[in-house]
Amino acid sequence: MAKKNQTLGEFIIENQASFKYTSGELSRLINSIRLAAKVVNHEVNKAGLVDIIGAAGETNIQGEDQQKLDVYANDKFIQTLTNRNIVCGIASEEEDDFIIVNSQDENHQNKYVVLIDPLDGSSNIDVNVSVGTIFSVYRRVTPVGTPVKLEDFLQKGSEQVAAGYVVYGTSTMLVYTTGDGVNGFTLNPAIGTFYLSHPNIQFPEDGKIYSVNEGNYIHFPIGVKKYIKYCQEEEGDRPYTSRYIGSLVSDFHRNMIKGGIYMYPKSSKNSNGKLRLLYECNPMAFLAEQAKGKASDGFNRIMEVQPTELHQRIPFFCGSKNMVEKAEEFMREYSE
């Protein structure tokens, strides 16, 4: 049973037994993500000091090359998961191909693959706005003892065993699910410990917030345009209010707590939208459903889409159940 103020470490140990495949491997994996999140958090917090300690592409005072934060975050998550021999494969937004992780005995004994967006919302870094990390975990489908293959990563979202994100915001939080609800942990930076601050988070069934990049409005499908107008119309307890940070993690996090919908539809410029199915939409969809929300491509459940490519994009509508269903209604009615 989740107890407020419990540390993430305690929570992981306590909940290990309730997980159906209890070998401790998934617990070690979440622990590694916790560690990498703290390291990346430390670096993200220094981003505003760029003029003082050097920008990406420069050499710092110790003669080290400064890295862009998304490359830094990518390296840290990959290092943490490979050095500690936790997973058998990793796919990342920052890597063209998936990485085969060889266990120390070169036997490929680990069962899990991880997919990550190491730094989400990276264009917000320079202006001191929240960014995040997104992760998604699957059991491999190819036999243990052999190198992982593409099919281990191209699984439907419904096969995820864990997913979550870190939001580097006014506070740093780690929010994750292993299929038994969603829990949020807040970092106390003074002592570097995550505490359970948001047990069993749930999307309000209805919401007031719609989040979409309205700069793309003229390029949106007619169903999306009509839905946005519906949100703006004064009727009953409408109009809704608009909030868009431009970091999926932060927009999702706010909407999950306050109630709302996040949309990144297709447009006449991007036929599949912008967001990536495997390491952005699927993990967010798993979290949304575990928090009693919904995630759709406008017509179908995101987690039922069969992926065909590592970096494939998909239109994304995610958030409070009633809002997503309303958006789907408009999509169906005005489908071109």
Binding footprint of Mn ion on the chain (CB under 5 A) = 93, 117, 119-120
Q: What secondary structure, in 3-state letters, does 134-157 show?
A: EEEEEECCCCCCCCCCHHHHCCCH
CB 281 within 8 Å of CB 272: no
**Does 133 sit near ligand AHG (CB under 6 A)?**
no
Q: Minimum CB separation from Mn ion for residue 237, in Å?
A: 33
Among candidates 193, 192, 174, which has minimal Cα distance to 30? 174
Beta bridge partners of 212: none
DSSP 280: I
**Cβ neighbours of residue 255 under 8 Å, at least 6 residues apart?**
203, 207, 209, 211, 261, 262, 319, 320
- Please identify which residue in 27, 41, 74, 122 interacts with ligand AHG, judged by CB under 6 A: 122
Q: Which residues of 43-60 are buried (b: 16+ CB within 10 A; e: fewer)?
A: ebeebeeeeeeeeeeeee
246 near ligand AHG, rule: CB under 6 A: yes
Q: Of 120 and 328, which CB lies nearer to ligand AHG in the complex structure?
A: 120
Using rule CB under 6 A, residue 125 touches ligand AHG: no
Taking CB within 5 to 8 Å according to partner kind, which of Mn ion, ligand AHG, none is near residue 315? none
* Interface characters, 134-173, with ligand AHG (x: CB under 6 A): ----------------------------------------
The span of 161-169, 192-200, 240-248, 309-317 binding ligand AHG (CB under 6 A) equals: 240-248
Give whichever of 213 and 312 is closer to ligand AHG, judged by the CB atom.
213
Binding-site partner at residue 274 among ligand AHG, Mn ion, none, CB < 5 to 8 Å by type: ligand AHG
d(CA 303, CA 158): 5
Query: Residues in the site for ligand AHG, rule: CB under 6 A?
Result: 93, 117, 120-122, 213, 246-248, 274
